[in-house]
Chain A
């Protein structure tokens, strides 16, 4: 038998660039209004709803004071990640470390922001609904839950905007069964194509299990384990001045460069719109 040195074998990385680890879906930009201006505070933009008088024909009227809600969104949180890439690492590496790391670090920062916004939105919701036992994992519950959720926001003019529901991947079980069993053409589409991301006119966003948490995220403490969120798109605002910022700098006594990715952010579900968002408790 021949003896072959392991160093003689030719090997390679499968790709030219470093590949990414599994990533979670980010949803907050799809369901909130986004503000990227350089402001620290954003004031509530809504007038308090005036109530007009109804009376017999008289030709007179009374003058009321007009008001706005005194409330503000504050950019008070920061997500960040930093590394140092030495000159020899950068020079002799198979990969473009700066490009690959910036991409991955930006995702890590965006994930923190997404988790903050989603949990704060759920915590601030004005509406509440408790599902029948089994929650979204029981097929027969789906139509009951969806109709109840939709009824919570109908009647408001804003309900004609798009509706959304954010669930975790473990909840998809009941949805797929319901989609495959309900209707005819819809069931056919589901059976041919798999999970449909809209149901009864509601866009469904799936995040990974463990996104709704009992935890302290930056400056907020939330207790959302076993909760999900439903509502009208654009009811809340999240601010991220200048988006995700990438900082690259030389450091004394070290070769190469330090690389940091930072995002400043804040979120507010305006009191005026609180009833357009429903905090779902899974039973």
Chain B
């Protein structure tokens, strides 16, 4: 594989990863991150439900 081909492949991968999260999902992921920081104990209790809700968005 030539050097030029390798570079193009890396760029394609990056584009695909950025498209995964919708604005709504990103906002909810940020909310969960803030919640985890402010209330780590409760986060551990609610973790499964919150992540399931995030996955459903």
Interfacial residues, chain A to chain B (CB-CB below 8 A)? 123, 128, 214-216, 220-223, 225-226, 281
Contact = CB atoms under 8 A, between A and B. Distances in A.
A214 B35 CA distance: 10
6 contacts: A123-B39, A216-B31, A221-B35, A221-B39, A223-B46, A225-B53
Contacts of A123: 39, 42
B38 interface: yes
A257 B53 CA distance: 47
A223 B50 contact: yes
Interface in B1-49: 28, 31-32, 34-35, 38-39, 42, 45-46, 49
A216 B28 contact: no
Given A123-B39, A123-B42, A221 B28 contact: no
B42 A221 contact: no
Contacts of B28: 214
A-B pairs with lowest CB-CB distance, top 4: A221-B34, A221-B35, A221-B38, A223-B35
A92 to B, nearest CB: 44
A220 B31 contact: no
A256 to B, nearest CB: 38
A281 B49 CA distance: 11
A265 to B, nearest CB: 18
A110 B55 CA distance: 34
B52 to A, nearest CB: 11
A215 B42 contact: no
Contact of B31 (A128, A215, A226, A281): A215
A225 B45 CA distance: 14
A215 to B, nearest CB: 7
A215 B34 CA distance: 10
Contacts of A215: 31
Contacts of B31: 214-216, 221, 223
Contacts of B46: 223
A199 B40 CA distance: 35
Nearest to B46: A223
A75 to B, nearest CB: 18
A215 B39 CA distance: 13
A147 to B, nearest CB: 24
A216 B45 CA distance: 19
A223 B40 CA distance: 12
Contacts of B45: 128
A123 B50 CA distance: 14
Contacts of B35: 221-223
Most buried by A among B32, B34, B35, B53: B35
A220 B50 contact: no
Nearest to A227: B46
Nearest to A225: B53
A223 B31 CA distance: 9
A71 to B, nearest CB: 16
B25 to A, nearest CB: 13
B32 to A, nearest CB: 8
